[in-house]
Amino acid sequence: MFDLIVLGGGPGGYLAAERAGEAGLATLLIEKNKLGGVCLNEGCIPSKTLLNSAKIYDHAANGAKYGVTSSDAKIDQSAVVARKNKVVKNLVAGIRGQLKSKKVTVKEGFGTIVGRSPEGVITVAVGEEKFEGKQLLIATGSEAVVPPIPGVREGMQDGSVVTNREILDLETIPESMVVVGGGVIGLEMANYFSTVGTRVTVVEMLDHIAGAADRELSSVLQKSFEKKGIVFHLGCQVTAVENGKVSFKDKAGNVAQADSQVTLMSVGRRPVSQGFGLENIPVLIERGRIITDAQGRTNVPGVYAVGDVNGVWMLAHAAYREAEVAINTILGKKDVMRYQAMPSVIYTNPEMAFVGETEETCKEKGIEYKKVTLPMNYSGRYMAENEAGDGLIKLLIDPVHQRLLGCHMIGSYASEIILSAGILVETEMRIDHMKELIFPHPTVGEIIREAIFHS
């Protein structure tokens, strides 16, 4: 009998198991594939490892404008993939070590929920073995959506069509690539392969890239990519993938094609909520996602769901915090999940990061706002490190209460700086108090201070 059974060893699952084990709960973690889940093995960490190699290569190949020249810079794709695998292996080993130190039992295999007794005991089977738990935390994650486009399934069989999983293991650089979907994953991989020499085309159904990101900054990112040779077809729908070409049509019905030695399907992800016995409890599911409250509780007493499977924010750091809230609730500690200051990052070059409300969401919600937009060149360090950089920061401010509603930035170190803005949103600090904060100089992060003083 376990105090807690955790189904899924991704960010939400393994952190929940760690926190539960640390608190003294007898905890079982069941993972069907590899500890770390999609984020560590097929997403966040592998893609950032590749993107870092691309950045180093770009600096080596294009350093003349900074007074640094090198001859014959090359990218060794097999070496890049090998290093990625080493990084992932080391991090997975670290997670396994952490779980062991917290006395968490790890069971490898496919877990299936058998049922829940009248006393509330939940039974989960892994093969022929059955385990019982007083509480269950579901963290089964998400999977890539593969639309029923003619030629896609056949392409996945011969390797000419890939998802976020397979693209990270390509050991040769394709001459041409079509990225279907202009969201975070698609843009990051478009960035990488364009930098290392692939002719990249992005086909996106919406009239803009980067999903829910600020439209003005998304446009800046698109123009930056276009300067690097990436071609965008917005408002277009892919109709077929065959014979090394991707066919697509625009809203007017005009049809076009693009060469594609490899096609990346990156049209979104969906929660994994089927196939492991949820119906045997039964847990409430709407449009594929498990419905939870602000503590991660489902409609079934003693059953929690965190991470991508609840479909609220499909981000690893959201899963981390959701896991902590759920475990604190199990332990009887008051906690609540808040999403108003959830940061998001697109790890392209340049990086784009944002937190809080956008202009679009303010208009949708009827929120009054004041906008402040500044070039990143107001930061001395940004200018020192970026030749002809076109970065921006945008603050959205509540003019009545004088608080920060949202922050959006595109430029170097944006991923590291955005936390500062997130804290300002989360704490609802007043603008006059923000002006008293001391930022280290020279840093790119000072751009927040500059923008505040321009408000």
Angle at alpha carbon of residue 355, lines to 351 and 356, rounded to 5°: 155
Q: What is the DSSP letter of 430?
A: B
Instruction: For residues 38 and 10, give the distance between their C-alpha atoms in angstroms, rounded to a whole number.
Output: 7
Cβ(351)–Cβ(220) below 8 Å: no
State CA 140 to chain mean position distance. 16
Could you tell me which CATH class the domain 152-267 is placed in? alpha beta
The answer to whether domain 2-144+270-330 and domain 152-267 are alike in fold is yes
Which H/E stretch holds residue 453?
A: helix 446-453
Under the banding of pLDDT at 50, 70 and 90, the label for residue 4 is very high
CA 192 – CA 210 distance, rounded (Å): 16
362-379 as b/e: b if 16+ CB within 10 A: beeeeeebeebebbbbbb
| Predicted local confidence at residue 408, as pLDDT | 98
Measured distance CA(32)–CA(275) in Å, rounded: 13
Residue ranges per structural domain of the chain:
2-144+270-330, 152-267, 344-453
Q: What CA–CA distance (Å, rounded) separates 142 from 287? A: 13
For tokens 């500044």, name the residue.
374
- The string of pLDDT tens digits covering residues 118-133 is 999 999 999 999 999 9
Element (H, E) at 69: none
Class for the domain spanning 344-453: alpha beta
pLDDT at residue 255 in the model: 95
CB atoms within 10 A of CB 451: 23
Tell me how far apart the alpha carbons of residues 96 and 141 are, in angstroms, rounded to a whole number.
Answer: 19
Amino acid making up residue 315? L
* Structure tokens, 105: 């039992």
- Is 408 tagged catalytic? no
Q: What is the mean pLDDT of the chain?
A: 97
Q: What is the pLDDT of residue 393?
A: 98
Q: Looking at residue 394, what is its pLDDT?
A: 98
d(CA 414, CA 353): 6
184-224 pLDDT, tens digit per residue, is 999 999 999 999 999 999 999 999 999 999 999 999 999 99
pLDDT for the residue 379: 97
pLDDT tens sequence across 412-431: 999 999 999 999 999 999 99
Instruction: Give the active site residue among 208, 317, 408, 441.
Output: 441
Question: What superfamily does domain 2-144+270-330 belong to in CATH?
Answer: FAD/NAD(P)-binding domain (3.50.50.60)
- Residue position matching structure tokens 């997403």: 43
